[in-house]
Copies of this chain bind each other. A is one copy, B any other.
Amino acid sequence: MTRTHTLHAHYRLVRDASCALSAPLSAEDCCVQSMPDASPVKWHLAHTTWFFETFVLERGEPDFRPFDPAFRVLFNSYYNAVGDKHPRPQRGLLTRPDLATVLAYRADVDRRMQALLGAGVTPAQAALIELGLHHEQQHQELILTDLKHLFSRNPLAPAFAAPPPAAAAAPALGWVDFAGGLVEIGHAGRGFCYDNELPRHRVFLEPYRLATRLVTNDEFLAFVEAGGYVEPAHWLSEGWDWRLAEGREHPLYWRREQDWQEFTLGGLVPLDRQRPVVHVSYYEADAYARWARARLPTEAEWEHACAGRPVAGHFAGRGAYHPAAAAGAGLVQLFGDAWEWTSSSYAPYPGFRAGAGAIGEYNGKFMVNQYVLRGGSCVTPENHLRASYRNFFPATACWQFSAIRLARDAPPHPGSG
């Protein structure tokens, strides 16, 4: 009973947060798709609702009738087991249903979900609902990154929010050593996690060290100005081809005007050199690391380094630097600043089991040619952050808040980790 009550409140909280995100936007802002990888805000609002209607209500309501039968296909993202789906690159063509209808769809499904929750749900239903809420939080992050991309393509450079305040000076870059050995990674405990975080398992690590903080815009600018985008020796072969094909000469949202500018959710602003560099591809992260005589961490190194570190504490200080970091003595910016590229290809953990049915398509089928990112960004919902979380994107992806934490091999004696 209590659990349902909590779930009920959680449901309301998460669902309201999505609407709050879109509240300042016009129907036009919510409708357009700026590239195949990004989806319209309206589509995110509808698809997250479709999840509850299709996976919970359709099975749970005694006399289920869909809000609109066409939505089953229209707002299916990729679940082949559910049936046909509308092609992803055409999500932006859906001027109908309009935004008002999609908001009405949300309200209708919320009303029916609350009725279901009020009547009590089975543990299986509760698990599905919890999954749906985490799924919706993922889409809340995408709403912001996709909108940022859309606005970045507009010559008027619209702002979604107030410009970010100037960051405090970044502390000197320090290193923290870890002894490695046979360690455990993967989700532990009773909280929610996705199937791809399981099972918790042993991994053997050589001694390593991690940088205390993320690479700053200032440091990355030094790479740019040292010819980092001109010298192929720094780059993976495929990365160099990507750079040439895309014509990249700096991170995606930088603009080389008289002074360096950066497009942000607060519009076009002078590049803040103290902030972490964000929106870099795996190729750029890897090239920077090689140039800096370092490397990217593996996901196991990253997760092991987090062990025992509180998520909330760091998160509270998004953008600020923790006193420990100022002294160069501890890891900061692990959570809630930017996603950190790891050198680990996204693959199943030993013993991985995908969920049953359509839900089983959630993660497993994307496990090829993607790289794992860890941590969580400034637009990741707070309670979505955890040490075992595995985000993943192709090496070309730049439109997420993706950043760089350096790693190095350490001498083979016990470290401070």
Measured between alpha carbons, how far is A97 from B155 in the docked complex, in Å? 10
In the complex the two chains form, is B155's CB within 8 Å of A74's CB?
yes
In the complex the two chains form, is B98's CB within 8 Å of A28's CB?
yes
Q: Does A34 contact B (CB under 8 A)?
A: yes
Residues of chain B with a CB closer than 8 A to A130's CB: none
Measured between alpha carbons, how far is A343 from B151 in the docked complex, in Å? 39
- By secondary structure, the A interface counts as mixed
Within A17-44, the residues touching B (CB, 8 Å) are: 26-32, 34
Residues of chain B with a CB closer than 8 A to A347's CB: 343-345
A115 to chain B, nearest CB (A): 28
Q: Does A119 contact B (CB under 8 A)?
A: no
Contact status of A368 and B156, CB under 8 A, knowing A150-B95, A204-B203, A206-B350 = no
In the complex the two chains form, is A95's CB within 8 Å of B28's CB?
yes
Q: How many copies are assembled? A: 4
Q: Does A282 contact B (CB under 8 A)?
A: yes
A243 to chain B, nearest CB (A): 13
In the complex the two chains form, is A154's CB within 8 Å of B96's CB?
yes
Q: Does A188 contact B (CB under 8 A)?
A: no
Contact status of A70 and B26, CB under 8 A, knowing A32-B32, A238-B369 = no
Q: Does A162 contact B (CB under 8 A)?
A: no
Measured between alpha carbons, how far is A80 from B233 in the docked complex, in Å? 7
In the complex the two chains form, is B233's CB within 8 Å of A204's CB?
no
Residues of chain B with a CB closer than 8 A to A369's CB: 238, 369, 395
In the complex the two chains form, is A204's CB within 8 Å of B206's CB?
no
A325 to chain B, nearest CB (A): 27
Within A95-125, the residues touching B (CB, 8 Å) are: 95-99
Measured between alpha carbons, how far is A298 from B41 in the docked complex, in Å? 40
Residues of chain B with a CB closer than 8 A to A9's CB: none
In the complex the two chains form, is A96's CB within 8 Å of B156's CB?
yes
Closest to A182 in B: B204
A368 to chain B, nearest CB (A): 5
Out of B94, B156, B368, name the residue touching A70 (CB < 8 Å): B156
Closest to A301 in B: B350
Q: Does A93 contact B (CB under 8 A)?
A: yes
Measured between alpha carbons, how far is A97 from B150 in the docked complex, in Å? 13
A282 to chain B, nearest CB (A): 7
Measured between alpha carbons, how far is A409 from B238 in the docked complex, in Å? 33
Residues of chain B with a CB closer than 8 A to A206's CB: 201, 350-351
In the complex the two chains form, is A92's CB within 8 Å of B238's CB?
no
In the complex the two chains form, is A367's CB within 8 Å of B236's CB?
yes
Closest to A93 in B: B153
Contact status of A155 and B28, CB under 8 A, knowing A78-B237, A347-B343 = no
Residues of chain B with a CB closer than 8 A to A235's CB: 365
In the complex the two chains form, is B73's CB within 8 Å of A155's CB?
yes
Measured between alpha carbons, how far is A55 from B86 in the docked complex, in Å? 43
Out of B29, B205, B282, name the residue touching A95 (CB < 8 Å): B29
Pull 9 A–B residue pairs with CB atoms less than 8 Å apart, ordered by A: A26-B27, A28-B95, A29-B95, A78-B237, A94-B154, A95-B158, A236-B368, A237-B365, A238-B369
Instruction: Please give 18 more A-B residue pairs, beta carbons under 8 A apart, in addition to A31-B31, A32-B92, A344-B347.
Output: A26-B27, A27-B28, A28-B30, A28-B95, A28-B96, A29-B95, A32-B32, A32-B95, A70-B155, A93-B150, A96-B151, A96-B158, A182-B204, A206-B350, A238-B366, A239-B368, A283-B368, A345-B347
